[in-house]
Structure 1
Amino acid sequence: MKKWIQKSLMVGVALLTLGFIPPSHEMWDSILDDKGHREISGSAVHAEVLQKPEMLAEEPSFTDMAKVAAKDQAFEKFGNRIGPVISDEFESVILPKIEEAIDMTLVTLGPDAVRDLAITERPAGGYSEKIFHIFDRETGKDVIRFHVRTDKRPLDGYYFNFHYHTAEDGFSRHIALGDIYWSKNTPPKWLS
């Protein structure tokens, strides 16, 4: 959305609600980011892939770039408070399953469809589940959505439930990737 429209909308709502919904409110992040479908540019991801020596042997594919972006988006979502606590378990248990889900999904699409795919640029903050989505640039429709939900289990505490949804079933089914235990204390908001 154009910046002047975004600012006008925020000022208008702030005036109409007498300041009860301030411009810094978290809802603006999800409403005003073009449905979260800002693309990670191929050159930005390409630059990150080139920093990984194991990927220098050949031109990085979209699958390679998606895997690099998956890790980056996840750690951006975790922020400085959650990331250091769960990073080891995420990288050893959850990330390989995310990579496997990306592989399986992209193989079913075929090379022609994969050329039109992009990755959302920004994970959702607050209590929203979105880590990143892979979507078709032409139609704007999601192909696969990767999410994390905070679950409170009585007597056990809080867990982060990693899962994904696919377009095949209209995003209705949660496909589990795994859980990571946080503690009995309420975890901070995402991106904090």
Structure 2
Amino acid sequence: MKKWWQKTLVIAVALLTLGLITPNHEIWDVLDNGQPSNNTQDRITTDSSEQLTVVEPESLEEDLPKQSVESLLFAAKEQSYIKFGSRIAPVIGNEFEEKIFPKLEEAIEMTLTRLDDESIKYVTISNQPSGQYGEKIFNISDGQTGKDLIRFHVRTEKRPLEGYYYNFHYHTVEDQFATHYTLGDIYWSKNTPPKWLS
């Protein structure tokens, strides 16, 4: 039940702030345990003691790509849940987290490994998933050129005698977005699923 509330909270914050403010991961430690985790405590004490030290610019540059990747992955999950909406997310959310999102992360990381550290700083993620019956979840683009690097989609498929499935897949710029690279399928039911973003 707590995971459902967490997802609802993330979606609510994303919708209310139009994706400009992202919830801090430390919030979940407080909600789950009632107190900050040891890592949070360590970071707080480390940060307060480091206020007197000088941080060299080179060390900041080394951290930027990792921070960019983490924020990109967080935004990817957030855009996925926005796409699902409040009617689909509670039904497929757990299976998405277990089966699809780890593969989605791998695809993003594989795409980003082809870029140099400077280019990773400018990578952007689209913030408007398609509604109705459109497939687009989000695109990851080169922020400098505006060209898409990878596109993530979900297609609703009706299989005879089985029912409806959600097929998660992506397309890459390497083959001009022609090939479907499947991430996995999630079964909905025999009933027609609701529209995206509903």
So what's the TM-score if we normalise by structure 2? 0.69
Q: Distance in 2 between matches of 1:162 and 1:137?
A: 25
Deviation at 1:61, TM superposition (A): 1.5
What residue in structure 1 maps to residue 82 of structure 2?
76
Tell whether 2:119 aligns with 1:126.
no
Residues 63-142 of structure 1 aligned to structure 2 (within 5 Å):
63-142=69-148
Deviation at 1:138, TM superposition (A): 1.9
CA contact (8 A) 1:120 1:132 kept: yes
Aligned length: 151
Q: Distance in 1 between matches of 2:116 and 2:152?
A: 20
Residue 52 and residue 102 in structure 1: after superposition, are their counterparts in 2 closer, same or farther (change >3 A)? farther
* Amino acid across the alignment from 2:101: L
Residue 143 and residue 49 in structure 1: after superposition, are their counterparts in 2 closer, same or farther (change >3 A)? farther
So what's the TM-score if we normalise by structure 1? 0.71
Structure 1: give runs of 5+ residues left out of the alignment: 1-38
CA contact (8 A) 1:49 1:65 kept: no
Deviation at 1:190, TM superposition (A): 0.1
CA contact (8 A) 1:40 1:118 kept: no
Residue 156 and residue 135 in structure 1: after superposition, are their counterparts in 2 closer, same or farther (change >3 A)? same
For residues 110-133 of structure 1, the C-alpha deviation after alignment (integer angstroms, 9 at most, x for no partner) is 212211211111211111111111
SS in 1 for 2:106: helix
Query: Equivalent of 2:174, from 160, 168, 172?
Result: 168
Deviation at 1:62, TM superposition (A): 1.3
What root-mean-square deviation, in Å, do the aligned CA atoms of Structure 1 and Structure 2 show? 2.3
Bigger relative contact order (CA 8 A; separation at least 6): 1
Residue 119 and residue 48 in structure 1: after superposition, are their counterparts in 2 closer, same or farther (change >3 A)? farther
The percentage of aligned residue pairs carrying the same residue is: 53
The worse-fitting range, judged by mean Cα deviation, of 150-159 and 133-142 is 133-142
Q: Which has the higher helix share?
A: 2
Query: Equivalent of 1:191, from 163, 173, 197?
Result: 197
SS in 1 for 2:98: helix
* Amino acid across the alignment from 1:137: G
Residues 29-44 of structure 1 aligned to structure 2 (within 5 Å):
44=21
* Amino acid across the alignment from 1:166: T
Residue 140 and residue 52 in structure 1: after superposition, are their counterparts in 2 closer, same or farther (change >3 A)? farther
Deviation at 1:48, TM superposition (A): 4.0
SS in 1 for 2:187: strand
Deviation at 1:109, TM superposition (A): 1.4
CA contact (8 A) 1:40 1:120 kept: no
